[in-house]
Homo-oligomer: A and B are copies of this chain.
Amino acid sequence: MSLKTGKIREKNSHVILSAAEIEFVKHGFKGASMQAIADRAGLPKANVLYYFNTKQALYQQVLSTISARWDSLLDDISDQDEPAQVLTRYICNKVDLAISYPNASKIYAAEIIQGAPNLQDQLRSNVRVWFKEKTKIIESWIEKGKIDPVDPQHLIFMIWSTTQHYADFETQVLIVSNKREYEADDVDVIKQFLCQIILKGIGLDIGSIEPLHMENQFACSL
């Protein structure tokens, strides 16, 4: 029975976290109510508070789940490979993540917009260190003459903003381009567009990426 109980706990936790994600996206941290989260999860309100003691704790849990996904999938800018290959992979992964988990990106964005009250520490430690590392790699590319002398920091900001835009501003993108939802084709077009403009923009020819490393990540229509 304790095994079964554990399963129930795991399942309920997951249902609650999913419901919470949606409510936090739609109304923000303060605006989301435990009642609405419970309703969406199909559980009594007290049950939600049984699993996560406070609303704050539930929110923190949602945030750290998001951060974990970020960290695990996006840490692949290294100086082992050629710039074109590294940047292509990074951009494509970020686009995939944005399209696959739009709510995660939206909650993260809302947190930053509101001044990152729950993410300050992580930004000041982890993210800042990651950022410094990656700018140094980009600087080394510039020193070796592999890319144009562009500001490494702003290059990273450009990749972050352009990729996450398709998650955070999903509503606007879909409305103005008159679509109901993203399709597989759209994702390929996005990847191809971003890689083309950014690589060319910093002085790399998109043709310099060996097809091997593009894999199925995007259809090269040029």
Binding site for B on A (CB under 8 A): 25-32, 106, 109-110, 112-116, 120, 123-124, 127-128, 131, 148, 150-151, 153-155, 157-158, 160-162, 164-166, 168-169, 171-173, 175-178, 189-190, 193-194, 196-198, 200-203
For A115, give the chain B residue with the smallest CB separation. Answer: B171
- CB <8 Å contact, A28 and B114: yes
CB within 8 Å for A128 and B175 given contacts A110-B113, A114-B25: yes
The reply to whether A151 and B113 form a contact with Cβ atoms under 8 Å apart is no
Bound: A29/B59 CA distance, A: 18
Given contacts A31-B31, A155-B197, A158-B194, 18 further A-B contacts (CB under 8 A): A25-B114, A26-B115, A27-B28, A27-B30, A27-B31, A27-B114, A28-B28, A30-B31, A110-B110, A112-B169, A131-B176, A151-B193, A153-B176, A157-B162, A158-B162, A160-B169, A161-B162, A198-B201
Please give, as numbers and ranges, the residues of chain B lying within 8 Å of A112 by CB-CB distance. Answer: 168-169, 171-172
Q: With A31-B31, A128-B176 in contact, is A196–B110 under 8 Å at CB?
A: no
Could you jot down 5 A-B contacts, CB within 8 Å?
A: A26-B114, A30-B32, A154-B193, A154-B194, A161-B161
A166 to chain B, nearest CB (A): 8
**Contacts A106-B113, A115-B26, A168-B113 given; does A197 touch B196 at CB 8 Å:** no
Chain B residue nearest to A27 in the complex (CB):
B30
